[in-house]
Amino acid sequence: MLRAAAADGIHAIITTPHVMPGITPFNLALYREHLAALQSWCLDQGQGLRLYPGAEIFYTPMTVQYLNEGRVPTMNGTAHVLVEFDPGERYEQIRKACGELTAHGYIPILAHTERYTALVRHPKAALALREELGLAYQINCSTIIAPKGFWQQRFIKALLKEGALDMVATDAHNMSTRPVRMKEAIAALARYGADVNTILQHAAELLRTTG
């Protein structure tokens, strides 16, 4: 997958294992060991890839405690935290959870924002929430390339119109069903009329992955 990412024009990756604080055990020491091994491999192979620590955190009542105790990594050591919810989570709960994170000094990045019905069906509310709490919205490459129906397409257009699409992520898990598709997503964004370079540069600056 690292070779595929390099071939797809990617230069920096934040590695984001799934974490469910207080529900599923997460071995931070082992994660760091694996990350260091992959970083060394990239250097040895001359892949031109920089790998950084991170996590995709499924929000639970223990999330803030785990972050405060350093048991789960933020995105490349920044205040940004990649957080996800159940697709059917209520707007009020998403707002409450993100508010708790911001109250403790973290900046939530909503992972695959296009999956949350409460936001996708109500783009004005989604934009207001982003403004209120200083959130960052991330959308998966696969959704940019092929939105699933009217609601997702309208949501993408609404975010782009307001400059509220902060990050595009591969969400790559393997080489078959969920591969790296960043080049395709960039081409699709260009067809939407988006300022692709600005989006990519903004994300790199937020996460300090510019090298």
The structural domains of the chain, ordered by start, are 2-207 (3.20.20.140)
User: Quick one: what percent of the chain has pLDDT higher than 90?
Assistant: 86
CA pseudo-torsion sign 124, 159, 169, 105: negative
- Residue 118 carries which side chain, given as an amino acid letter? A
Token digits for 74? 């933020």
Q: Residue 63: its pLDDT value, please?
A: 99
Would strands 167-169 and 18-19 be described as parallel, antiparallel, or unpaired? unpaired
- Cα(211)–Cα(208) distance, integer angstroms: 8
> How big, in percent rounded to 5, are the helix, strand and coil portions of the chain?
50, 15, 35
* pLDDT tens readout for residues 54-70: 999 999 999 999 999 99
Three-state DSSP class for residue 81: strand
Over the stretch 115-157, which tens digit does the pLDDT of each residue have? 999 999 999 999 999 999 999 999 999 999 999 999 999 999 9
Q: Average pLDDT, stretch 172-190?
A: 90
Burial category of 131 from C-beta neighbours within 10 Å (exposed 0-12, middle 13-18, buried 19 and up): exposed
Query: Phi/psi zone of residue 105: left (φ > 0), alpha (ψ -120 to 50 degrees), beta?
Result: left
Please provide the average confidence, as pLDDT, over all residues in the chain: 95
- Measured between alpha carbons, how far is 49 from 181 in angstroms, rounded to an integer? 16
Across 194-199, average pLDDT: 93
